[in-house]
Amino acid sequence: MDRHQAKPAPGRPRSQQAMEAVLTAVRQLLETSAYKQITMEGIAKAAGVGKPTLYRWWPNVASIVMDAMTKQARQDIGVPDTGSLESDLHLYIGDTCRSLTQGAGSIMRSLMAEAQFDDGFAQIFRESFICSRRETLIALLKRSAARGELPKDADLELLTDLCYGPIWYRLLNGHAPLDEPFVQAITAHIMRG
């Protein structure tokens, strides 16, 4: 249900320009600094924006960074549809891992870490990132199940955990790379399930 024909809010509307300046500034900061060194104060200064404006739109650094990430590239990882579960999975997991090894990974680690400390952010982070990716994968699996490649009673949620779990585990611990053999191994492991 939308606010069909809703009155525009009274008062000066929020400045799209300011918002974009902030997101751009954050992206630049992320390229030159570690996530932990990014502060509200620094963002405000870099974006030429007042601190209250920042706080009016976002509650903390993590939310801004997340916005900058999601608005930047929503289409990084497409949903493959080759007709075969195995190749679909292989492509999807491969894209996911490649994306995470190319710079986004470090930020995602920081956001995941931040989510452990702030319940409010955790909720948004999980809804925006984790769940949306999970649902994409689940849709892929469902399609495959409809083709009969999976047993009808397969627990798709669980399969998703088995897929993303090891990826995040390696990403967060850095004890082993997210490379092609790893992608193949996960794919094979899920195919056996």
Partner DNA sequence: AACTAATCGAGACGGTACGTCTCGTCTTTTT
Partner DNA sequence: AAAAAGACGAGACGTACCGTCTCGATTAGTT
Those residues with Cβ within 8 angstroms of residue 29's Cβ, 6 or more apart along the chain or in another chain: 38, 42, 43, 46
CB of 107 to DNA, least distance (A): 16
Per-residue x/- mask for DNA, residues 19 to 58, rule CB under 7 A?
A: x-x---------------x-xxxx----xxxxxxx-xxx-
User: Applying CB under 8 A, which of residues 25, 164, 183, 187 lies at the interface with its own copies?
Assistant: 164
How far is Cα 138 from Cα 75, in angstroms, rounded to an integer?
17
Chain centroid offset of residue 119 CA: 17
- Between 8 and 181, name the residue whose CB sits nearer to its own copies: 181
Alpha helices in 73-191 (DSSP H): 85-101, 104-117, 119-125, 132-146, 156-173, 180-191
For residues 114 and 62, the answer to whether their CB atoms sit within 8 Å is yes
* 122 contact, one of its own copies, DNA, none, CB 5-8 Å limit per kind: its own copies
Per-residue x/- mask for DNA, residues 56 to 75, rule CB under 7 A?
A: xx--xx--------------
Q: Which residues bind DNA (CB under 7 A)?
A: 7-15, 18-19, 21, 37, 39-42, 47-53, 55-57, 60-61
